[in-house]
Amino acid sequence: MNTKGILALIAVVVVLYLVSATVYIIPETHRGVVLRFGEVVKTGVEPGLHFKLPWVETAREFDKRILTLNIPTQRYLTIEKKPLDVDSYVTWKIRDVGDFYRATGGSEPRAEELLASRIENGLRNQFGLRTMTEVVSGARDELMTVIQGSVDELTREEFGIEVIDIRVKGIELPDEVSGTVYERMRAEREAEAQEYRSRGNEEAEGIRAAADRDVTVLLAEANREAQEIRGKGDGEAAEIYADAFGQNEEFYELYRTLEAYRSTFNSRQDVFLMDSRSDFMNMLDGPMGGQ
């Protein structure tokens, strides 16, 4: 290679080096800052091709898309001093790249560390103002809204970060507490079941008492009706007997006497001592008795 070729090659290399030291490109999803001797001189550089002073200025680019940070499980105390293990996450993005660089040195891990610290403090404060029931059920959405607003206001000013949303993925009782809570829940359910059983027994006793009362009333009415029917039948029978026997009084007297004898002398072992002149023996004194 001749001297002109070598010089041309050197010139191309120098030009490429100057271009690389002067030109920088910001991607569509990023924003940039320009530093001069480590100091921020330009912020919010838009996507596209840009120029800077070679060897004097440097460019840094940062992702402006929404990012997600999973916060490690932390333990917080409620207003009743009951511990809860909380698993949460936050969605965030860089709002001001200049403030972000000044606060974190452009380090995303450092930004996540600072952000997690602020969120943990916010959760700890808010959990300490609420009961376990409020945290676990009805007030969770309100809790997240309050924390998101307070943390977002703080991080915007300090780090140039916008907190979009904070969510609790899970709330668990510590192992040393869950056993006690489950025992209390079991006792409450058993007490409730016992109350239902007692109420059922009371209602059953009332039903049985009402049924027994109805049975007694029905039996009494049935016995009364039976007595009335029986009395009416006996009366009608007596009237029929009276009408029948009234047609021949001597035969009726003989019939009754014979029935009395039959019932009296029912067994051969029966022995009676009585006056032969008694009214009971008068029929035996006649011609039939003498035989």
Condensed to tens digits (0 to 9), the pLDDT of residues 222-268 reads 998 998 898 888 888 878 877 777 777 777 777 777 777 677 666 66
For the entire predicted model, the pTM comes to: 0.55
Which of 81, 94, 244 shows the shortest CA–CA distance to 174? 81
Residues 15-32 have pLDDT tens digits of: 666 667 788 888 888 888
Domain at 67-172, CATH homologous superfamily: Band 7 domain (3.30.479.30)
**Angle at the Cα of 230 (from 227 to 234), degrees rounded to 5?**
135
User: How high is the pLDDT of residue 56?
Assistant: 84
User: How high is the pLDDT of residue 288?
Assistant: 45
Where does the pLDDT of residue 164 fall: very low under 50, low under 70, confident under 90, or very high at 90 and above? Answer: very high
Q: Alpha carbon of 210 to those of 60, 147, 203, 206, 282: distances in Å? A: 90, 62, 11, 6, 62
- Range(s) within the chain of domains with CATH label 3.30.479.30: 67-172
